[in-house]
Structure 1
Amino acid sequence: MHLLLVEDDPSMRSTLERALSRRGVRVSSCDDGARALAQWRTSAPDVVVLDLSLPGMDGLLVLESARAAQLSTPVLILTARGTVGDRVLGLNAGADDYLAKPFDLDELEARLRALARRGAGPQAPREEGRIELGGLAYDKASGAFHHAGQVLELTPREAALLQALIVRPGYAVPKERLFALVFPGEAQVQYEAVEVVVYRLRKKLAQTGTTLMTLRGLGYLLKAG
């Protein structure tokens, strides 16, 4: 796995470089936002670890610029900003996962390898805008889900959550990203509201040949069976 580490703290950067290199990760590093964006364009990393507090060009702007330039590399935000609002802000900007400092190195490695697999992993069978998983089918053009020839009746929030999961079958989607997609711009909504939508959706999927799983600390995933 080739990792681009964007971190302006010299001690943190060198510690992560040494620790991850010992675990078989090839690490390229950078301490400046603008240089990081240029390095990202040319080095084609498998995963990017991005600190938000960077000199010159902060991490959110780096991320937004990368996504605008169609750089689709999975990104894990690593920062001391640990509030739900900051996490949602980062995920809305295009991040794939979020880990607040201080953190456990084993958890960081697990999340990075999960992101690398997600970036290179197989997708559900598709044909002309259609995704199928187990007995569930998703029509991308209409946004409708079908089971056994019938439209699955979902609320808009349930549909938004299910759409986010079915495009990455078998891979965990962080709870923060789901919150940003299901409750966009709704600052008054409690973070735990995602769990209510998951609970209701899980009951509706019970007979479809798909399972909505909770992975503690990683998020939710959808799989066949």
Structure 2
Amino acid sequence: MTAPATASALQRPDGTPLRVLVVDDEQMLTDLLSMALRMEGWDVRAAASGFQALQAARDFDPDAMVLDIMMPDLDGMAVLQRLRQSGNDVPVLFLTAKDAVSDRVAGLTAGGDDYVTKPFSLEEVVARLRGLMRRAGTALASDSEPILHVGDLSLNEDSHEVIRGGVELELTATEFELLRYLMRNQRRVVSKAQILDRVWNYDFGGRSSVVELYISYLRKKIDQGNEPLIHTVRGVGYMIKAPQ
């Protein structure tokens, strides 16, 4: 799989790929995240424990870190504390099954920069990391704005503005994530399973009917009164492409 060419590529000021360290003791999760981040063109390294994370942070010098809180040896809070004590101010996106407000506050006040709870959308993690690195000033965009285009449809990944034919469209958060995934894979057929995996969460449980429902929502907002951009490929999945 290759990185979608439609997104504005983020890179280091010297033109080399951004470095992201993914820390989680669930190998399936680190594999999925690593794959999604490499599709962005980023250099990714994974660690399975808190102590491995500290060593990797020294050796790899990441531009951002995805850090699980609950780990068997040294939890994410302790890892972050040691990083900050050593003068390492790498932006940290906490990743955890905990979703209580108190846990979010604790993570952010400990020096974390953002917080995503499991189950999560891989697209959301990518978007949060892009935002973190932009705000931290560690990344430069090869284009002026992170805007995706398909025909007369545009989607701004930073402002969440969606415009077709000069008219701004109001989308829900899920509709936006679904449209973004389709646009980042324009002219490529994506299956219901792939959509569930990337838009809803990494453990989708086979709820394929929800994809059909949200595709119909998008069509009403994107395609109604216009030449269709969203197409069904029977027996395979969905694709978005500009009219010929």
User: The TM-score by the shorter chain falls in which range?
Assistant: 0.5 to 0.7
Q: How does 1:23-38 map to 2 (within 5 A)?
A: 23-38=40-55
User: Could you say what secondary structure the match of 1:91 adopts?
Assistant: helix
Indicate the SS of the match to 2:89: coil
8 Å contact kept, 1:46–1:119 = no
| Matching residue's letter, 1:45 | P
| Percent of aligned pairs with the same amino acid | 42
Query: 1:121: how far off?
Result: 5.8
Aligned mate of 1:114, from 120, 127, 131: 131
Deviation at 1:19, TM superposition (A): 2.0
**Distance between the aligned counterparts of 1:19 and 1:107, measured in 2?**
11
How far 1:22 moved relative to its partner?
Answer: 1.9
Q: Distance in 1 between matches of 2:47 and 2:39?
A: 19
- Work out whether residues 74 and 116 of structure 1, in 8 Å CA contact, stay in contact via their aligned partners in 2: yes
Q: Is the 8 A contact 2:36 2:126 kept in 1?
A: no
| Paired residue type of 2:71 | L
- C-alpha distance in 2 between matches for 1:121 and 1:18: 22
- Unmatched 5+ stretches in structure 1: 123-170, 173-215, 217-225
Is the 2:63–2:138 Cα contact (8 Å) retained in structure 1? no
Taking the aligned partners of 2:35 and 2:138, their CA distance within structure 1 comes to 27
In the alignment, what sits opposite 1:14? 31
Does 1:98 find its partner at 2:115? yes
Q: CA RMSD in A?
A: 2.2
2:57 to 28, 40, 51: 40
Length-normalised TM-score, structure 1: 0.52
**Which residue of structure 2 aligns with residue 50 of structure 1?**
67
TM-score (norm 2): 0.48
User: For the Cα contact (< 8 Å) 2:95–2:115, is it kept in 1?
Assistant: yes
- Residues 74-93 of structure 1 aligned to structure 2 (within 5 Å): 74-93=91-110
Please list every run of at least 4 consecutive aligned residues from structure 1 whose deviation after the TM superposition is greater than 3 angstroms. Answer: none
For 1:3 and 1:10, how far apart are their aligned partners in 2?
Answer: 16
User: Secondary structure, in 3 states, of the residue corresponding to 1:77?
Assistant: strand
Runs of 5+ consecutive residues of structure 2 not aligned to the other structure: 1-17, 140-157, 160-172, 174-244
1:178-199 residue CA offsets vs partner (Å, 9 max, x unmatched): xxxxxxxxxxxxxxxxxxxxxx
Question: What is the CA-CA distance between 1:35 and the residue it aligns to?
Answer: 1.5
